[in-house]
Amino acid sequence: MTTPSDLAGKVVLVTGASRGIGYATAKEVARRGAHVIAMARTVGGLEDLDDEIQALGGSATLVPADITDGDAIDRLGAAIFERWGHLDGLIGNAGVLGVITPLPHLAPDEFAKVMAVNVTANYRLIRSMDLLLRQSTAGRLVLVSSGAAVAAKPYWGAYSASKAAVDVMIKTYAAEMANTAVRANIFYPGAVRTAMRAKAVPGENPDSLPHPNDIAPALVDMIEPAYAATGQRFNIRTGQTTAL
């Protein structure tokens, strides 16, 4: 566990920040001294987050926007450039589960939605924030993925395919950034007490699962300037880091 001051003065963008893993991660980023740019659709959740960050003595910029709004992402990139001129960390957490069903039964619009949120939105983030990350002395990008990308369980076709695409996208981007100060990695959170998990596994006792607050420190460690690995996936369930 790093000290609270390791991210002091840094600027970090967290998506899906209004609840669950994103909410806990944004708080942890603020606790370590960074200014948080919190992006999510739910205004109420963002306002609650802002209250908690202020109680910690931190600061945040709230961005109420749909992650699939590519133009909004581009505007956000321009606003970050105008205000700070760089971005030190990007944690792409926003995601959807979609419908768990046999692949041939999956409606085209449901498949498209999963890909739009889990894949295309993250591509747009990378596209818009690339220059900003390069302008940092130690730009760090981490996307929250899932072991479903590898397991490819029956009925999880859309979600698994989307997370596999995320993994490959980061593997590619990390290779492209090899000669820069930017590091790009993947975080596998495992089963966590979130609304998405409750939807995926109804009837499961949530008290048997770790709280988002429990895993947030490990995720935020990956955007620390000292985190030098790139093109890797960290699986918090196993505690192992492996190449993508």
Instruction: Say which of 10, 27, 162, 163 is annotated catalytic.
Output: 163
Annotated catalytic, 146?
Answer: yes
Q: What are the two backbone dihedrals, phi and then psi, of residue 39, each rounded to the nearest 5 degrees? A: -115, 130
Annotated catalytic, 159?
Answer: yes
Do 129 and 77 meet the contact criterion of CB atoms below 8 Å apart? yes
DSSP class of residue 34 equals: P
- Beta-bridged to residue 59, according to DSSP, are 35
- Beta-bridged to residue 64, according to DSSP, are 40
**88 class by beta-carbon count within 10 Å (0-12 exposed, 13-18 middle, 19+ buried):** buried
Instruction: Say which of 18, 136, 145, 160 is annotated catalytic.
Output: 145
Instruction: Say which of 18, 23, 159, 171 is annotated catalytic.
Output: 159
DSSP class of residue 199 equals: H
Do 209 and 162 meet the contact criterion of CB atoms below 8 Å apart? no
- Whole-number Å distance between alpha carbons of 26 and 43: 15
What does DSSP say about strands 89-92 and 11-15: parallel, antiparallel, or unpaired? parallel
Instruction: Say which of 146, 171, 188, 227 is annotated catalytic.
Output: 146
- Whole-number Å distance between alpha carbons of 35 and 52: 13
Sheet containing 11-15: order of strands: 59-64, 35-40, 11-15, 89-92, 140-144, 183-188, 232-235, 240-243
Question: Which residues are catalytic, by number?
Answer: 145-146, 159, 163
